[in-house]
Amino acid sequence: MKRFQWGMIGGGKGAFIGGAHRVAAKIANSFELVGGVFDIDFERAKEFAAQENIDLKRVYPDIDSFIRGELSLPATDRITVVTIVTPNYLHYDHAKKLLRNGFHVICEKPVTLTSAEALELKELVEKNKLVFALTHTYTGYPMVREMKRRIEAGDIGSLQRVDAQYLQGWINPIIHGGEAKLAVWRLDPKVAGISSCMGDIGVHAFNMIEYATGLKVKKVLAVLNALKPENPLDLDGNVLLGFDENLTGVIRSSQIATGEENNLQISVYGTTGGFHWEQENPNVLKMFHEGAPYEIITPGYGYLTPFAQESHVLPPGHPEGIYEAFGNLYKGAAKAIRGEETVPGQFPGIDDGVRGMLFIESAVKSNTEGNVWVSL
């Protein structure tokens, strides 16, 4: 099957997330990286391109040059899908320009800095009939997809509690050390937006909850913590979630949980059972039953739902990880770009981006206004 000519904005030399996207695209086997705006430093961008054997004629100094250059090529030769892996504040401007000029977009989260910007992108996606994929990577894990399908099928009854956490500790030594805090862009409001902890990782937990349960959070009550008065953004927080009168939940998230690495977990409880999944042990899904031992569900078996089976390509006992989960999102996006049929949950889209921004804004507003309930 012919591969898409693919471009990237950002993600050049030394960019971890850029490398992750490139591995994911290779796993999906539907994308060929042929050009882009790889670095704010044009010389570094060209150095990166040379390392990747990319034609220097397809390396551009900025987004406007990229669009002009690609649109000057015959339609059969130009880049058709672009991945955005820049700091948060550039997502909106780049995505808007790309969508207006007919490019499909794959974007890192959060999708924009405000919900108003996200809604504007949603209008462009729908108007121009383009594919927009948002890389909430953890939705690509087979056992998350198995949990989603089993919840949809009613295997644990009516839902009555949801609990998610996302704990990291990487900002802890920065806050307590001598490094200039704003040198870390995620702590700079001008670059990261109105939130650090909730905007970077809390939103992943929020997305995981809505993805796995199929439900929409209606309101939030947040208590956020910047730890020190001089810190401009939240580094830790707890958010109560309201779905309806019979279903509540909570998100616990932190970037100052000393020693934690990437501890994302979700638990969903229904009237007859429950599920528990951990990102650091992603090939195990626990299923709880009333009055009976819990099950351990792992990938690669024929008893799994078709969605989980197609998301794991190796035999049982051969673990897959974050790159394969990433690759599943790229596979889903490729199917959509080709016009093939996709199933619900194949990849997060612009609607997930809008929901994420509404969550971040509502959590910050709840905290600012004295820890009160705020509707999304």
Q: What does the pLDDT read at residue 56? A: 96
For the segment 327-368, what is each residue's pLDDT rounded down to a tens digit? Answer: 999 999 999 999 999 999 999 999 999 999 999 999 999 999
Q: Return d(Cα 29, Cα 1) in angstroms, integer.
A: 9
300 pLDDT band, cuts 50/70/90, is very high
For the segment 181-236, what is each residue's pLDDT rounded down to a tens digit? Answer: 655 788 889 999 999 999 999 999 999 999 999 999 999 999 999 999 888 999 99
For the segment 112-147, what is each residue's pLDDT rounded down to a tens digit? Answer: 999 999 999 999 999 999 999 999 999 999 999 999
pLDDT of 307 above 80: yes
| Enclosing H/E stretch for 31 | strand 31-37
Q: What does the pLDDT read at residue 204? A: 97
Apex CA 230: angle with CA 228 and CA 235, to 5°?
Answer: 50
Q: Return d(Cα 329, Cα 331) in angstroms, integer.
A: 5
- The whole-chain average pLDDT of the chain stands at 95
Residues sharing a CB contact under 8 Å with residue 110, sequence separation 6 or more, in sequence order: 88, 91, 193, 199, 203, 353, 356, 357, 360
Stated pTM of the model: 0.95
- In the chain the domains, ranked by start, together with CATH numbers, are 4-137 (3.40.50.720), 141-309+349-375 (3.30.360.10)
pLDDT above 70 as % of the chain: 98
Residue 194: HSE in the Cβ half-sphere, 13 Å Cα cutoff:
19
Q: What does the pLDDT read at residue 2? A: 84
| Dihedral pair phi/psi, residue 83, rounded to 5° | -100, 130
CA-based nearest residue to 323, from 24, 19, 109, 17: 24
The number of residues making up the chain comes to: 376
What average pLDDT does the segment 280-307 reach?
Answer: 96
Q: What does the pLDDT read at residue 181? A: 61
Q: Return d(Cα 358, Cα 371) in angstroms, integer.
A: 17
Task: Kindly state the tokens that stand for 220.
Answer: 């939030």
